[in-house]
Chain A
């Protein structure tokens, strides 16, 4: 019997199969990455002891009411005014006694913190090592920030207290949050231009990190008012 050549497999339909798969993936997947606003919720603690007292001058009150109107320190304001108002209060360049305390940061206090973190790192076991290392790096970066920004590195003791009533709309809440963040961004941007001569978008990651230390975001959210 003559040896029969086995016929070659026809690969012509391979393309069709691949196309089918391709179209399936195109339909079931999405390319756009969602952007969002991140928030770390406060941990739930069991004890109901009253919170530590806060000096009233350090609190910046912002409230959204049921009619989606915004009260800033008890006064009705437009949302566009929020960044400027918050900036003024955080900087407190005129040293007003009813505005948040802002004091100069000294090299010694940062050094104390570095030494403390070094000791923690030495004692840390394997599990805690990574986080201790991160803390030490952060405190060292803070010292570097002081060297770069000098007397502009001030510690502000402000807390932005964001409150809303139950009937307020989510959109207003997000807008308000956005405008508060804009205040911080603008503060950082101003300092970057003043000291480094570049705007926020032209900075390196480390410089951004340092500016975030200089103007630390401190927004606290009070529970919704019934």
Chain B
């Protein structure tokens, strides 16, 4: 090599250009924004889901409302006791609040569409996802289901872990 460079100036290796790095990262960013959905809510309850095999997946973009049932976490047990409680959005609420929660949810689904008619039909399609701890007594679950019927939210999806 040196005989070709004799008498000439030492060549300096050019650094790798990082100009396209932002583009790559932005591409990743957009991918994740499209492929994922934002976390619905953090849990204040201990919910261990049961397992089942005959499950289905909700269509993308189906409007959903989440209701969780379970025992409050250790930290919150001082405040809420250790009985099975109901969580709507981020807070532990009582059975009576379910109706208002569902009405609010439907109103917000409706409002998120510019066309009132489409909004109304989307609100009708709302599915209530129940995340229930597997040790919960059925009495409590059925009380919640009665509330759902009262609020005429009839589409229910029991969230489970897939498989045995």
Contact = CB atoms under 8 A, between A and B. Distances in A.
Interface stretch (B6-14, B31-39, B89-97, B99-107): B31-39
A9 interface: no
A167 B140 CA distance: 9
Interface string A152-177: 00000000000011111111011101
B144 to A, nearest CB: 11
Chain B contact residues, majority secondary structure:
mixed
Interface in B2-41: 18-19, 21-22, 25-26, 28-29, 32-33, 35-39
Interface of B: 18-19, 21-22, 25-26, 28-29, 32-33, 35-39, 50, 52-58, 127, 129, 132-139, 141-142, 145, 148-150, 152, 154-162
Interface string A72-88: 00000000000000000
Nearest to A43: B154
Contact of A29 (B36, B148, B157): B36
Contact of A43 (B57, B58, B149): B149
A41 interface: yes
Contact of A185 (B36, B54, B127): B54
B115 to A, nearest CB: 15
Nearest to A174: B50
A194 B157 CA distance: 33
Given A14-B22, A44-B152, A36 B129 contact: yes
21 contacts: A15-B18, A15-B21, A19-B25, A21-B29, A22-B29, A25-B33, A25-B36, A29-B39, A34-B159, A35-B55, A35-B160, A41-B148, A41-B149, A43-B152, A165-B138, A166-B142, A169-B138, A170-B50, A174-B52, A185-B54, A224-B139
